[in-house]
Amino acid sequence: MRYRSEPHAEKWLLIEWPEDEREPAKYWLSTLPVNIPITQLVDTATPLVDRGLPRPLG
């Protein structure tokens, strides 16, 4: 078994969970920097969803 000498890059998990729903509506994974403001992270995800592009961010 091989082990990594360095940890994997950190990732964000964004979950869209409307208040009136029992379960989340959508999920996104992002490798954008840890210090990115949450509003910028959401703004980056939104156009991809609006265009129906199922690709990772970052």
pLDDT digits (tens, 9 = 90+) for 2-57: 787 888 778 888 888 889 999 988 888 888 888 888 888 878 777 655 555 555 54
Number of domains in the chain: 1
Task: Give, for 44, the enclosing helix (H) or strand (E).
Answer: helix 38-50
Domain of residue 49: give its range.
Answer: 1-58
Three-state DSSP at 42 gives helix
Pairwise CA distance, residues 55 & 23, whole Å:
22
What residues contact residue 28 under an 8 Å CB cut-off, 6+ apart? Answer: 12, 13, 14, 15, 45, 48, 49, 56, 57
